[in-house]
Structure 1
Amino acid sequence: MGFVEMTQNWRLWLQEGSNVSVYGTVLFVMFTTSCILHVLSAIERRKKLPPGPWPWPFIGNLGVVLRKTGARHKFLQALGAKYGGLMYLGLGQIPCLVVSSVAVVESMFKSHDATFSDRPQTYFRKVQYGDSAMRSLSSAGYGSYWRQVRRMCNTELFSPGTHASQEGVRREEIQNMLDVLVHECKRRKPIDLGDWLFGVSTNNMTRMLINKRYYGTGAEIPEKKEEFQGMVKSRTRAAGTFVISDFIPSLTFIAKLQGLPKRFRESHESAKAQMESVLDVEEHRKNAIARASVDIKSEYSPDFVDVLLKAPLDDGQPLADSDIKFLLTDLMIAGTETTGITVEWAMVELMLRPELRKQAQEEIDAVVGADPERFVQESDIQKLPFLVAILKETFRVHPVAPLNVMRSSYEPCEFAGYYLPAQTRLIVNQYAIHRDPSVYENPDKFEPRRFMENPEVNPLSGRDSYQLIPFGVGRRMCPASNLAFTMALLMLANLLHTFDWSFPDGVTADNFDVSEEFLGTVLRKKTPTILMAKPRSHVQ
């Protein structure tokens, strides 16, 4: 290569380098300008939204929320204290509101209850049910089908008349399991209180659903207690799993890499197998036809399956068998664990405060007396205001579901001067609301007297009393709230009336483990509550 040719090549290379440099500069300017415009646009959009932590590009505030998966209710409470009772989070591509004060939850649900009564379709439900995921009461979207099923629950399953007709069932199941507890006491065997409460709640639900007993004396269903308890815990944990593709759909592959589809399907198959062995809808249908063909009046008491088989939808057609199973499975799982957890926490608080336990027993004794055949009955409850206050305070301090099942808006709306697009998710932080310092003095302290001084606070309302909402609020609140409240009071009252309680050897109030664990959707006690029970002098 000659000198002239070499010189020309160097000149061309320098020109190309200069062009590359120009192109790089242009690209850098374009990228920087794009970022600046994105930030300015985000700032402008944020002016129309409630305050909240600044979102990252693409993932929004997902990184903030995912940091505290085990205590998300407390983390959101702390964020709410910083940004206010109405806080905005950008969860990936999904806008989300977090409500954490009494004033905001009251204002929102008095004006926008219907708007935020929809349910988002989640990856958990899609994997397990496919298109049927929106046919259960808890997951159905806000529309005609959900309204019909909800009305059916209100008028057929949990109406005042049905509630009254089931009083004998509740009494029998509590007495039956008290007999089991008395037998255990005679052996001086430590009592796993949570396990006993789970058995009572399960029996009550199966008696109402299918008129059969699941645990204890006279059980009519093959007992698979550990399997059933494991299935309930697995379901609640899976239902509350934070799946990133629920907020960034393009990242579904991450859920697959985590093995979530397999875990969700296994949870579903376990629940399906156990519930189908309990809820035989076709058998109920055949028995109903057989009873109808008999001329003499039957003394058979219809259970919930019988009721649902006769209850038509608006078009006159009955519920499909699959829909009946979805509905009853929802009720079975929700009703067996949550009530027992509440009573367990109440007993834990009373064990730490013997003076409150003694006061509660004295109140019960004054009403019920020392008749060895006398149990605390539902007619006694209105005469036990201190016991009611204890349960209300337990609901406040230990909400079983500290974060409500996520809601979604089905249309855009304006609230508190902010524009909220359709499909905005809504989280009601019951844990924070129950500790609102503007409503509750010493909010972290267990003090039943606060409800003795304010007996009008009604946890069953959901529309008029917003400072205590353990069963949710508005149209989506738990339809079985009255049943759960009654059962919790009866179990707690009879435990206190029938037994004196103490810690096992080596355990005191100072070293008694009261740590909590947030798994999925439920806040439960982390370790079993093991206590010693001694029948009181009036108990045979």
Structure 2
Amino acid sequence: MASFSSTIFTALIFTTLSSAFFFLFRRLKSTPLNLPPGPPGWPIVGNLLQVAGSGKPFFQYVRELLPKYGPILTLKMGTRTMIILSQADLVHEALIQKGQVFATRPAENPTRGVFSCNKFTVNAALYGPVWRSLRRNMVQNALSASKLKTFRNVRMTAMDKLVDRLKMEAEVQNGVVSVLKNARFAVFCILISMCFGVEMDEKTIEKIDEMMKTVLITLDPRLDDYLPLLRPFFSKQRKRAMEVREQQIATLVPYIERRRLAIERPGSDPSASEFSYLDTLFDLTVEGREDPPTDAEIVTLCSEFLNGGTDTTATAVEWAIARFIENPRIQTRLYDEIRSVVGERKVDEKDVEKMPYLNAVVKELLRRHPPTYFSLTHSVTEPAKLAGYDIPTGTNVEIYLPGIGEDPKLWNNPDVFDPDRFLTGGESADITGVTGVKMIPFGVGRRICPGLSMAMVHVSLMIARMVQEFEWRSSPENMKVDFGEKLEFTVVMKTSLRATIKSRV
């Protein structure tokens, strides 16, 4: 370990010295940019060592900078420049007023590029014909209101399985259950069915889920993502990434082939559903390309579909249950609304729109606990201005969501979890950002999350069923909920929530 550290340190010194002259020469020849303010950094590495050496999660580091540098600030992270926005009017100017200019993505690191097939995904694609083709296909042919309805039975089956799993776990653990783990498995089951359209047993689903987690872990940022000259020292990590990519393809291709065969030979697979997202990919026409997606590209698109809606939804459910335990009055009021609307039968997703308090709870949940602290990174298609500052091409434009959802200028008592703010409190929020930016858990503008409608259905239905079936209490009894947070794939509870459930039946 000491030898490795010494090698890295030597490499950093060499990188700094050999690059300093190049950057100094380039700076002397170029016109200085008027970038937003930010903490001073070191030559070449910028603020990278300050962030890494702070011992704090990145979102916490940024949160502490905002009072000093304001709602738009710059961080130099090696060769990357990050401009962070944390105020609604700045986000509106960038993503609504100048939406087309701010609609692209920055260059990817080589590891992420391997998994995205060089940006062949809805989320990662550069603003242009590939992105338009992929997004249009996903929104119109897989996530439209009519297509979502075709998976109603899938969602109901998954909810029944969730209830059964919670009951079985409670039986063997004296009423105690793990919230996030069970919620995550339930939503993953839904997405697997929607994506592949073939029946899989729980063991297979868990295998694919573990594969997806491994991919996400492999995509965690590394030092050489910010200092490319260090890449020779990370050859083992690159090799490992290639191995994971090969495993990902080997895991998913058999189910792609199974679905392809089911389409070519109707009736050959009794478990095959009438429609799946995968069906739209086999002969997908992409602007500027003659050939349909390759198997590797289909694996990438399916993985995006699965990863994009799993942890975000499950995390939201965990925070919701934590809030119900903290404030039983909210849980009781929600249960009473469910009973008044559906009586003794199971909650159906069609019932959700008739439950104003449930909808207020979900909105407040997404305001107070957005699934991620930063929306997906934006970049500009051409040099631009924002709030009078220069935004050069290649810059990472990051949106810090809590700065908006917790802004006291936009919200009364923003630190308080209060669903009534959307009812008797008279406050409002359009989560799409169309009528104004006040909370944007799904992003906003041209790159808004295409799965917004699906996510709202899943979160609302899961919360409703879980409250309808069980009364949720702290574990151990009378233990105060710890609302500390940490960043994994999403922002999760620092101490994973374990709760005591009591069946209402």
Q: Is the TM-score greater than 0.5?
A: yes
Give the aligned length.
477
Alignment check: 8 A CA contact 1:127 1:265 kept: no
Alignment check: 8 A CA contact 1:236 1:522 kept: no
Q: Deviations over 1:468-522 (max 9, x none)?
A: 1111222222211111111010000111011112234x44233x44332212x42
Report the CA distance between 1:462 and its aligned residue: 4.1
State which of 200, 219, 225 in structure 2 corresponds to 1:239: 219
Instruction: Report the equivalent of 2:14.
Output: none
CA distance in 2, matches of 1:136, 1:163: 21
State which of 248, 264, 276 in structure 2 corresponds to 1:289: 264
Alignment check: 8 A CA contact 1:124 1:238 kept: no
Report the CA distance between 1:530 and its aligned residue: 1.7
Report the CA distance between 1:266 and its aligned residue: 4.7
Structure 1 residues 454 and 260: CA distance shift in structure 2, 3 A: farther
Q: Deviations over 1:219-278 (max 9, x none)?
A: 3x64463x555444443343342x33333332324544xx5324534543443343335x
CA distance in 2, matches of 1:416, 1:534: 53
Q: Is the deviation greater in 62-71 or in 113-122?
A: 62-71
Superposition map of 1:10-25 within 5 A? none
State which of 328, 339, 351 in structure 1 corresponds to 2:313: 339
Instruction: Report the equivalent of 1:12.
Output: none
Instruction: Report the equivalent of 2:479.
Output: 509
Structure 1 residues 156 and 73: CA distance shift in structure 2, 3 A: same
State which of 497, 500, 505 in structure 2 corresponds to 1:529: 497
Instruction: Report the equivalent of 1:493.
Output: 464
Instruction: Report the equivalent of 2:303.
Output: 329
CA distance in 2, matches of 1:270, 1:454: 52
State which of 288, 304, 307 in structure 1 corresponds to 2:280: 307
Report the CA distance between 1:429 and its aligned residue: 0.8
Instruction: Report the equivalent of 1:376.
Output: 347
Q: TM-score, normalised by structure 2?
A: 0.85
Instruction: Report the equivalent of 1:448.
Output: 419
Structure 1 residues 427 and 320: CA distance shift in structure 2, 3 A: same
Q: Deviations over 1:353-411 (max 9, x none)?
A: 11211111112111122x2xx11112211222222222222212222211123222232
Aligned partner of 2:224: which letter?
S
SS in 2 for 1:282: helix
Q: Deviations over 1:86-106 (max 9, x none)?
A: 212233333321001112111
Superposition map of 1:148-227 within 5 A? 148-185=133-170, 188-214=174-200, 219=201, 222-223=203-204, 225=206, 227=207
Matched, 1:90 2:86: no
CA distance in 2, matches of 1:212, 1:151: 24
SS in 1 for 2:266: helix
Aligned partner of 2:215: which letter?
R
Q: TM-score, normalised by structure 1?
A: 0.80
Instruction: Report the equivalent of 1:429.
Output: 400
CA distance in 1, matches of 2:79, 2:273: 54
Structure 2 alignment gaps of length 5 or more: 1-20
Matched, 1:116 2:102: yes
Structure 1 residues 375 and 458: CA distance shift in structure 2, 3 A: farther
CA distance in 2, matches of 1:431, 1:233: 26
SS in 2 for 1:534: strand
Matched, 1:57 2:43: yes
Structure 1 residues 69 and 524: CA distance shift in structure 2, 3 A: farther
Cα-Cα RMSD: 3.0
Percent identity between the aligned chains?
26
Report the CA distance between 1:189 and its aligned residue: 4.4
Aligned partner of 2:478: which letter?
T
Alignment check: 8 A CA contact 2:197 2:259 kept: no
Instruction: Report the equivalent of 2:487.
Output: 518
Aligned partner of 1:45: which letter?
P
Q: Is the deviation greater in 311-320 or in 107-116?
A: 311-320
Structure 1 residues 274 and 281: CA distance shift in structure 2, 3 A: closer
Matched, 1:251 2:230: yes
Report the CA distance between 1:213 and its aligned residue: 4.8
Moved over 6 A (4+): 40-44
Q: Deviations over 1:418-437 (max 9, x none)?
A: 22221111111113222222
CA distance in 1, matches of 2:491, 2:381: 29
SS in 2 for 1:383: coil
Q: Is the deviation greater in 308-317 or in 379-388?
A: 308-317
Instruction: Report the equivalent of 1:45.
Output: 32
Q: Is the deviation greater in 159-168 or in 56-65?
A: 56-65
Aligned partner of 2:486: which letter?
E
SS in 1 for 2:297: helix
Aligned partner of 2:285: which letter?
P
SS in 2 for 1:407: coil
SS in 1 for 2:472: strand
Q: Is the deviation greater in 139-148 or in 227-236?
A: 227-236
Aligned partner of 2:496: which letter?
P
Structure 1 alignment gaps of length 5 or more: 1-33
Q: Deviations over 1:125-144 (max 9, x none)?
A: 357449x2321223222221
CA distance in 1, matches of 2:115, 2:175: 43
SS in 1 for 2:353: helix
Aligned partner of 2:262: which letter?
N
Structure 1 residues 95 and 528: CA distance shift in structure 2, 3 A: closer
CA distance in 2, matches of 1:323, 1:207: 19
Aligned partner of 1:271: which letter?
Q
Indicate the structure (1 or 2) with the bigger Cα radius of gyration: 1
SS in 2 for 1:309: coil
Matched, 1:275 2:275: no
CA distance in 1, matches of 2:329, 2:65: 36
Alignment check: 8 A CA contact 1:86 1:99 kept: yes
